[in-house]
Each structure stands twice: as C-alpha cells, then as structure tokens.
Amino acid sequence: MTITKPLTLYSTMSRKKETFKPIKEGKVGMYVCGVTVYDYCHIGHGRTFVAFDVIRRWLMERGNEVTFVRNVTDVDDKIIRRAAEKGISTKELTDFYTKAMQEDMESLGCLPPTYEPHATDFIPQMLGIIGKLVDKGYAYVGGDGDVDYAVRKFPAYGKLSGKSIDDLQSGARIDVAEGKRDPLDFVLWKKAKPGEPQWESRWGAGRPGWHIECSAMSCHYLGENFDIHGGGPDLIFPHHENEVAQSEAANGKKFANYWMHSGPLRVRSADGTEEKMSKSLHNFWTIRDALKETDEQFGAGNGAEVLRFFLLRTQYRSPISFNPDLIVDAHKGLTRLYEALQGREGDGKPLDWNEPNAAAFADAMDDDFNTPVAVAQLFSLATEVNRTGDPALVRQLKGLGAVLNILQKDPAVFLKGATEGLDEAEIRRLIDERAAAKKARNFARADEIRDELLAKGITLLDKAEGTVWRRA
C-alpha cells in the first residue's frame, strides 16, 4: 500500500514546514553533502547520515523512486596536508578513508547512495560552471591568479542562512595577499602551487575551491533544479549559501526546492558546557571506536544498532546531547522491543498502513520525519504484544521497525549479546534443571540456579513460550 497523505518537511530556506511536492510525481532527487576524506568519520557524521538515510527510506516507503547522491570531497587543503604528513599521495589517502567511510555508513545501517561522485572526477563540469560565472560577470581573476566569486553581484546572497551582506561586511577583514576585490568573495579556482594536485584550465593550472564541487556534481546527476539538498548544520554557511549563489547565478534558475539540515551532535567539554562534536575541536569520537566500545558493552554486532537507535530517538533537526548514559538507555529501550518479539511470529501479512499503530507511525513520519513519536508507537506495540501475543501486532512491530532499519535481527541473538566465554549448552542445561525443579516445587533450587546464572551475567526471562536468557 502506498501512503497518499501529505508529507511536510522543514525547509531551511523558508524557515517553516512546507508540504513536500516533488518536481516529478513519484520521483525524488536528493543530494546530501558527504565528507572530506582525510580521517575517520566521527559520530557527528553518523548523526547526519543516519538522519538522511531515514528520510530517504520514508520517501521510498511512500512509493517514491529516490535518486540519492552523496559526494566525496577528495581534493582539499586538509587532504593535501595530511597526505604530506604521512608521506603518501593524496589519492592513496583519500582511497583509504573513502573505503573506511563507506564501511562506517554500512555498519550504521545506511543504504548506499545511488551515486557517490568524487570531486576529482568532475573537474570539467566545475570549470564549465566557473566559465559561465566569469562570462556573466559574477566571477573574476584576482590579483593572485585565483578565480573568485563576486558576492555582491548576487543580490539574494544570504537568503539561505539569513545573514545579510552588511552584517557579514562588518565582521570581515581583507587579507592583502589573497588578491580579492572584496573580503566577502570566495574562491572558485585556486592557482596551482608546487607539489599540489592540479588541472589545466583557461585561467592556468590550478584546483577547485570547495564550494564549486557540489554545484557541479548535484547538477550533473539531478539537473539544475532538483528536489532536496541536505547536509549537516555547519554547512548552511558558508558552503550551502555559496552553492546557492554560484548555481543560481550560473544557471538562472532555482537550485534546490527544499533545503534540509540535521541538528548538531553536542558533547560535554571539560568546563561542563556543551559544544558541537567536530574534528577541529578535537572532541570527536570516531564511529569505529564507538562501534568497538558498544560491541564490547552490548554484544558483538549489537553496537551499531544501539547507536542507530540512539540517534533515531531524537528528531533529525534537533540537537543531540551525547553521553554514555544515553547510549545505555538506548540499549535498554531496544532490548525491551526485542523482548516483545522473542519467541513470537507474525501473521505473515504485509504491513497495512490503515492499522491504528501503523497509521500513527505514518502520521509522525509525515510530520517532518518525527522519529521520536514514531518510535513511541513501537513501544506501544511492544506493550500490546507482551499483553496479548497477537501475531498481527508482532508483524506490525517488526514491519515498522524495518522502515527505520531496526529490529531485524533474531531477537534471541540480540538479547544474548556477547556470548564470548559463555557455555550456551551449560546455560541451557541449567535452564532445563530449573524448569524441572519448579515442576517438582523445589523453588529453593530454582532460585539458586537463577542466582547462579545472574552471577555469571545471565538474566532469565520466563515467558508463556518458555524461559529465555540474555546477557544482563
């Protein structure tokens, strides 16, 4: 069944919720800015990409064919510096961290992008846009040989971020070595420096600035006007603001119809205040380290789903406060949902969006992808499943979980968690002995067995279907 009710989303450009209407009915073009591949991804990146993975999945659930583009920035000052520090080529560096990024996104349950363009493969397209801007008078060759965008030539500059040119001017200063005509102008093409990656252009050898790459790649795959452009909150200004300016000046049409940004992931600093997680602040926790630690804590293979569930419990554009207690709480919540599924089978029917819990779930997702309210429906279902054991409700719980890409493991495997060092056959033998003791009304022995297993980190759950166990 295809969901036909209206979907509303919050657009950064209009600063309000809007009814989503794709350019072509049933087809959605979506571009989300990827990472600069010079280091491992951190949980802040994971927050952004899980958010847009859920958005994409819900658009698909509503019957849309989604073309999802996520770029890879593989030429950049940070990349050049890091490669030099390691004594390797920029390609060796970016190939390594691109693969690591892809593995991290897969671990967190994100679908692979439809297209994953690398900036260095789109130099001709970038030069084409820069040429348009120079020919139209929006860009110029500065005194240092760089090609710069003349911000004041684009009267609507600041419409995405809400920043005015006058406010920006008051806080700007000009570096005489840059050769810009105005301190607000930004670079489109950097003149080549010795030892750096470079390509030929009509302005001489050089490499692209950061902002131009996304305009080139998004337009190549999705057209000069497409549906959704997204990314992390730190990209609104200047990156996305500059994308709007250069794309609309070059092509003479609206760039993206809807702009969506995830909220920041914040961590507590040494002085007790909260700040965003970022590499520049040296306060980040890599996805790899997070997965290793959560796997050790909650069981091998479980950490990724716990982290994903932790991220889903906050609406995508709200800030998340990151601390270990919240991760533990997410594990407890996920455990409760899996316990409702353990030992139970659904009725084999497809998910029906007319069923009350499914309809409430859909209403939440249609209201700007409100995952906390959608997740609340999962807990309501779990309560009813535990009360009634109704196979129709079991099917709904697992089916709605699938929309968010959770609850798809064998519940027994998830609930047992880390089994390293545990003899499952011995645990099963003790459970059987306990059942026999209870049948013989030897409750003292039954309690002894429960306590013995609990001391080993094993919790027993007595259900109508029998006794099951999991790691405490």
**Alpha carbon distance 311, 51 (integer Å):** 8
Residues 382, 411: contact at Cβ < 8 Å?
no
**Alpha carbon distance 328, 310 (integer Å):** 9
What the block records as the tokens of 270 is 């040494």
Q: Read off φ and ψ for residue 107, nearest 5 degrees.
A: -60, -35
CA dihedral 15, 19, 20, 22 (to 10 degrees): -120
Neighbours of 311 (CB within 10 A): 25
Residue 33, annotated as binding a ligand: yes
Whole-number CA gyration radius for the chain: 26
Peptide bond into 112 cis (omega under 30): no
What the block records as the tokens of 278 is 């970022």
Pairing of β 27-32 and β 65-70:
parallel
Question: Which one-letter amino acid corresponds to residue 170?
Answer: S
**Alpha carbon distance 149, 51 (integer Å):** 32
DSSP-assigned letter for residue 315? -
Residue 214, annotated as binding a ligand: yes
Length of the chain: 472
**Alpha carbon distance 319, 102 (integer Å):** 25
Residues 71, 36: contact at Cβ < 8 Å?
no
**Alpha carbon distance 460, 470 (integer Å):** 7
Residue 239, annotated as binding a ligand: yes
Question: Which one-letter amino acid corresponds to residue 202?
Answer: R
**Alpha carbon distance 119, 214 (integer Å):** 8
What sign does the dihedral 235-237-238-239 (CA atoms) show? Answer: positive
What the block records as the tokens of 349 is 């029917």
Containing H/E element for 210?
helix 210-222
Residues 214, 31: contact at Cβ < 8 Å?
yes
**Alpha carbon distance 130, 138 (integer Å):** 9
Could you tell me how far CA 297 lies from the centroid of its own chain?
23
Instruction: Indicate the annotated binding residues for ATP.
Output: 279
Instruction: Indicate the annotated binding residues.
Output: 33, 214, 239, 243, 279
Instruction: Indicate the annotated binding residues for Zn(2+).
Output: 33, 214, 239, 243
